[in-house]
Every structure is written in C-alpha cells, then in structure tokens.
Amino acid sequence: MNAQQPHPFSKFVAILGRGKTKQRHLTLDESVEAMEMLLRDEAVPEQIGAFLMLLRLKEEAPEEIAGFALGTRKTFDLPADMPHVDIDWSSYAGKRIQLPWFVLSVMALVNAGYSVCMHGTEGHTPGRVYTRGVLEELGFPAARTLAEAADQIRARRFAYVPLEVMSPTLRHLINLRPIFGLRSPVHSFSRMLNPFDAPTVMQGIFHRGFMDIHSGAAQHLGIPNMAVFRGEGGEIERRPNKPTQVWTTHGKDAPIVEEWPQLLPEGHQPPDEEMDTARLLQVWRGEIEDTYAEATITGTIAVTLRTMGKAGSIAEAEEMGRAVWAARDRDFLPAKA
C-alpha cells in the first residue's frame, strides 16, 4: 500500500471521529462492510482500537448493531443441514451477585419441547460465574463447531456455542476489555448473532438505556420475535423482587413496552456469598426450596413464552411459566459424571 494513500478502513474511523458537528452513525451497509473488513483482518490494530472506542464514546446506533451482526454472520461456517431452533439465548455477562437461575429456565423450556441455541463467552471480567462452566456441570458440554452444535440441537434440543466457535476474532476483541478499561460494542452486537436464525431472540442487558438500541436493531434485522429487558447482572434473567420493563419487537413493527409486576414482596435480595453452583441441580430436582430462585426461573420462562406468542397476556404467561416449571422431569439434567 502507498504510504500516502488512506487505508481502506480509515473511512470508517473518519466517519466516527470527525467531531460533534460532522460525525455521524454508520449506515447499515457501512456497518456490514466495516465488520466484514475487520473480521477479514483488513484493519490494523490502531484502527480497530480507535474504531471500537469511538463507537463506545458515541454510543452504538441500532443500524450499527444490526450491521455488525449481519457482517459477522456472513463469516459463519454453518452446516448445510440447519437444525430447527425455537429460541436464541445469549449469555455474555456472567453472574457475580446471584446464581445463574436463568439456566434452569432454559432447561425447563428445553424439557418442555422447545429447542434452544445458547451462545456466549467467559473470562473477560474476573470474579464471575459464567454459563459455560455451569452447563458443563449439568452435563451439557460446549459445542466445538457449529456443525456439532447442530447435531446437539437435533439430539437434545439444546446447544451452547462459545463465541470463539462463531468468531475467534470477536472473542479476542471482547478480551480487550481490561486494555480499554471499557466494554466495546462487541459486547452489544454479539448478543444479536443468532447463528441458527431462531424466530425468537431473548436479550438481557445491564444498562437500561440500551433497550431502544437493541429493539431498533431487531427491527433492522426483521427478527420475528425479540424481547430485551434489564436482567439480573445483565443476563436474560428476570428479577422477581422488582418490576421489569420488557421491550418486545415483532419483525419491523415498533416496539411494545410492557411493565411486568414484581413476583415477590419489595425488598433487597442479599448477594449470594457462596455462589455454590451445586444448588442449581438441587433446586431442579426439588431437593431444596428457594423462593427467590423459583420466582426467577418461572418469571423468566413467562417472559420467553409471551415473546414467542404463546401467551395472550402477562397473567397467562405467568401461569404458563409456573406450569412449565412444575411439569419438568426432575431427572432430565444428567449432570457431569
């Protein structure tokens, strides 16, 4: 390359960094092109760092999140024989205050006959319990390829796909968080990757202000059913002792915002000092009772079923969530040998 000629990727950095009066959001097509170039190693490290932090400073726009997801999906090595998946479930935050009870919500839905693809990553923030390790304890090893994930879904209606299986580059970028001192947009759009094109996508976020961004991205992507809410620790997990605002989109229609009531009396739930993941299997099997855990599990199931269109009202969804949990096969989780 001629040293006097601008680098091809520099146009995207320039769009974001021209200052308050001239900077703008990337268009959907620009976002797709930028992400494809980044994932093809057609950007140098200095550009990548500047690009991600300028996006972080500006805050991502819905069309950028959608475009980055589309650009990443174009790089996937998908099997020719795609499995049917009902629900796409992302898990990128990790838990540090409460156990990941949402894992049991997912397992109850799988046990009830729904197929789920879960994807995520781990280790980017110290001191958290990450989903991959919990699933392995419960007898669900992570898929090593998307083809293996497809086989697992056909065999067990469930697969967990690590981010590095979908995109090693994105996993590397997420792991730059300690270097930047900030999360990057990768944390946002990775949740939207939906590798098997499930018609229902569940989203959990930590910061309340991102619900309109994720809902807008879902509209750009035309996802048939998508819900986003502020979940416990940033995961897809309803907090039962607080009201929950859920933003739902269906295709390109405008978001529907619903206020879900709290399920337990108002009050602060103390942090779990032990974070003993063995309790998950004990609660599943009914060996111990935990009011907070069961309300979390059934409440999260309820939001999912409502998003899928299985329930006509919040009250009906709550009843269905409790019924799915009550009907679970307590021997369904094999647990790690």
Q: What are the pLDDT digits (tens) for 192-246? A: 999 999 999 999 998 777 899 999 999 999 999 999 999 999 999 999 999 999 9
User: Coil, helix or strand for 19?
Assistant: coil
Read off the pLDDT of each residue in 9-34 and give the average, rounded to a whole number: 92
Q: What is the pLDDT of residue 1?
A: 53
**CA 90 – CA 204 distance, rounded (Å):** 8
Q: What is the mean pLDDT of the chain?
A: 94
pLDDT reading at 122 higher than 50: yes
Which residue matches tokens 């320039």?
Answer: 14
Do domains 24-73 and 87-326 share one topology? The answer is no
Read off the pLDDT of each residue in 109-132 and give the average, rounded to a whole number: 92
Measured N-to-C along each axis, helices 291-308 and 102-111 cross at an angle, to the nearest 10 degrees, of 60
Q: Is 215 left (phi over 0), alpha (psi -120 to 50) or beta?
A: alpha
Q: What are the pLDDT digits (tens) for 308-335? A: 999 999 999 999 999 999 999 999 998 6
Length of the chain: 337
Higher pLDDT, 105 or 57: 105
Closest among 127, 81, 75, 136 to 103, alpha carbons compared: 136
**CA 117 – CA 70 distance, rounded (Å):** 18
pLDDT reading at 81 higher than 80: yes
pLDDT reading at 61 higher than 60: yes
Query: 24-73 belongs to which CATH class?
Result: mainly alpha
* Overall pTM > 0.85: yes
Q: What is the pLDDT of residue 337?
A: 46
Contact at 8 Å (CB) between 118 and 159?
yes
pLDDT reading at 113 higher than 80: yes
Domain 87-326 annotated CATH 3.50.40.10 = no
| Least confident piece of the model among 133-142, 233-242, 245-254, 262-271 | 262-271
Contact at 8 Å (CB) between 143 and 126?
no
Q: What is the pLDDT of residue 143?
A: 98
Q: Tell me the CA distances in angstroms from 322 to 62, 108, 232, 299, one per residue in order.
A: 34, 10, 20, 8
Q: Where are the domains of the chain?
A: 24-73, 87-326
Q: What are the pLDDT digits (tens) for 273-311? A: 999 999 999 999 999 999 999 999 999 999 999 999 999
Read off the pLDDT of each residue in 148-174 and give the average, rounded to a whole number: 96
Q: Which pair of tokens denotes residue 243? A: 């009201």
Q: What is the pLDDT of residue 14?
A: 94
Q: What is the pLDDT of residue 48?
A: 95
pLDDT reading at 90 higher than 70: yes
Closest among 98, 69, 80, 2 to 293, alpha carbons compared: 98
Give 142-169 as a DSSP string: PPSSHHHHHHHHHHHSEEEEEHHHH-HH
pLDDT reading at 260 higher than 50: yes
Closest among 316, 289, 290, 284 to 303, alpha carbons compared: 316
Q: What is the pLDDT of residue 123?
A: 77
